[in-house]
Amino acid sequence: MRFDTKLVHVGQEPPAGTGDLVPPLHLASTYERDVQDPVRWFYARGENPTREDLERVLAALEDVRFATAFASGQAAGATALAVLARRLVIVSDDVYGGTHALMGTVADRGVEVRYADLADPGVADRVLAAAPPGALVWVETPTNPLLKVVDVARVARQAHEAGAVVLVDNTVAGPALQRPLALGADVSLYSTTKSVAGHLDVLGGALVHDREDLHEAFTAHRTAVGSVPGPFDCFLVHRGLKTLSLRAERQVATTGKLVAELCASPAVAEVRYPGLPGHPGHEVAARQMSGGGSLVSFRYRGDVGAFLRRLRLFGNAVSLGGVRSLASRPATTTHRPVPPDLRARLGITEDLVRMSIGIEDPEDLLDDLRNALGGGAAWRS
């Protein structure tokens, strides 16, 4: 079964007796044991059929056996760190602001956290060669918000030679454009809130992998701490997932048009997008991704606040990968938890704007962007 067919069919088999083409939503918090043969269902913090339907399709999309769904991407990341972070975590220097906050939690319990520019092959080679066995290598690619590209296959090969485990946060690209496990990673992490669900109406997260020991450890931790997603949230993520490929195709095509407009504007000092031939990671992105993605960052020469207020169709809000286009200033929103000196060193400065492109008509988005870049009338108070 191919990728797009899996999106629609896996985890959606009609139940016996009724033939519902959409499986029923299982809302129960507990289960009658006397009617089960054999007894499988105990309590919904541990088991839920709706959640397991979602996990089946998430695993199938990367051609592996296991996926563990969580209440949010942060909950998924916290579980991965609780299970995998022992002595050292080597992490991409440019990562989501919430990931910086998570790394602080393991640093507080004595685990060394070492940030490195894993998009730079020389830096990655040097850092990974010195990694002790059992280290966790946390890769984000493309990174958020600077859209650096890490060569997953290269990093995974070097990390495994050192006896390290590789986790790739695949939230920005999503499974329609990039499949880290096929490139050699051990675990894919998703905030399913983003492109997987795609409609800006649900929180969720997932860890996808093919190791039974990790499946047991992730599931046991989730059950113990209660970081499970509710059944209705799982239903919404699964429903949104069916149109993932269609949305990604439209978003990538529209993003290319907006990137061309940004590159041509005198109001823009720099454009960062993996689909651009001049991007430092373009060749790697072309190898490991099927498109440049729907996230673009750029440096605006004027008043960023005024620029954001002039936008009419782009919501001034955080998140990415959804059906509606959004724009924000990472330095004061998503990456506010990052220490100011580190933000400055990375280049997450006040002039940086991040745009997530939705599925609106491309010409309407172009008109909106041109108006904002050109200093047209603002519409927000």
Catalytic residues: 45, 96, 169, 194
Alpha helices in 12-141 (DSSP H): 49-61, 73-84, 97-108, 121-129
Report the C-alpha gap between 333 and 331 in whole angstroms: 6
Report the C-alpha gap between 18 and 313 in whole angstroms: 43
**Strand pairing partners for 299?**
270, 352
Q: How far is CA 223 from CA 43, 350, 366, in A?
A: 10, 41, 47
7, with CB counted inside 10 A (0-12, 13-18, 19+), is buried
Q: How many CB atoms lie under 10 A from the CB of residue 217?
A: 17
Handedness of CA 56, 61, 67, 68 (dihedral sign): negative
Distance between first and last Cα of the chain: 51
Residue identified by tokens 């059906």 is 323
Report the C-alpha gap between 344 and 349 in whole angstroms: 6
What is the DSSP annotation of 141-192?
SS-TTT-----HHHHHHHHHHTT-EEEEE-TTT-TTT--GGGGT-SEEEE-T
Contact indicator for 183, 152 with CB cutoff of 8 Å: yes
